């Protein structure tokens, strides 16, 4: 795993009253696991089963693919007043190229679905990333996850390529790789920065 020089960027401030942000590490593993188990929809869609006992540990300690440069990987948790996780975002800065930030995971608690929290939280993350040098935001969404696809399209993301036969848990998916410009620029500019996202690659 190759890293750019360490970043010291502060965490985003929660835009939702009653929630605060923390960087989840070993001391937050049990709370993250409870959150995963209480909000199983993502896991059922992506892996074919609810969260398993080691999923929080893997999320905290999992490494990026060998040889992928990046600056920092954050696991941002949004905690309520009792310390329970209500949302989580896995964000990687300068992934593959400077200015390209990647959103690896974004889950809002099932109990908070339908009240507008997801777009508010995402837009806050995006603003934080832009303030700290992000020119592009990148993510992958499982084709067939209709709710997820609609959400990211509403947030302004555009598909740049598909990856076929991606194994995730018990399932194999087509993954839509999507990107969004945060500081102008064309998708030709983006693909020059991240050749692996070219449709023909």
Residue 149 resides in a domain? yes
Residue 160: pLDDT over 60: yes
Average pLDDT over residues 70-96: 97
Identify the domain containing residue 14 by its residue range: 2-194
Structural domain count of the chain: 1
Residue 133 resides in a domain? yes
CA distance 60 to 85: 14
Residue 53 resides in a domain? yes
Mean of pLDDT over the chain: 92
Residue 173 resides in a domain? yes
Return the structure tokens found at 116. 């507008």
Residue 201 resides in a domain? no
For 15-63, what is each residue's pLDDT tens digit?
999 999 999 999 999 999 999 999 999 899 989 999 999 999 999 999 9
Q: What is the layout of strands, in order, in the sheet containing 136-142?
A: 20-23, 72-79, 85-93, 100-108, 136-142, 171-181, 158-168
pTM beyond 0.85: yes
Residue 1: what pLDDT?
35
Q: Looking at residue 100, which CATH number applies to its domain?
A: 3.40.630.30
């Amino acid at each position: 795993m190759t890293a750019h020089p360490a970043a010291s960027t502060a965490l985003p401030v929660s835009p939702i009253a009653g929630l605060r942000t923390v960087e989840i590490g070993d001391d937050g593993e049990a709370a993250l696991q409870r959150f995963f188990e209480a909000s199983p929809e993502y896991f059922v869609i992506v892996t074919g089963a609810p969260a398993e006992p080691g999923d929080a540990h893997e999320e905290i300690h999992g490494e990026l693919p060998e040889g992928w440069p990046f600056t920092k990987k954050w696991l941002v948790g949004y905690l309520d007043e009792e310390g329970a996780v209500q949302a989580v975002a896995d964000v990687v800065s300068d992934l593959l190229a400077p200015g390209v930030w990647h959103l690896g995971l974004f889950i809002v608690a099932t109990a908070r679905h339908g009240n507008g929290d997801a777009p508010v939280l995402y837009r806050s993350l995006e603003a934080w990333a832009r303030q700290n040098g992000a020119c592009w935001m990148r993510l992958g969404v499982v084709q067939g996850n209709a709710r997820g696809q609609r959400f990211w399209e509403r947030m302004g993301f555009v598909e740049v390529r598909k990856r076929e036969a991606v194994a995730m848990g018990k399932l194999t998916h087509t993954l839509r790789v999507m990107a969004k410009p945060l500081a102008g620029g064309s998708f030709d500019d983006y693909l020059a920065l991240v050749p692996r996202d070219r449709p023909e690659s």
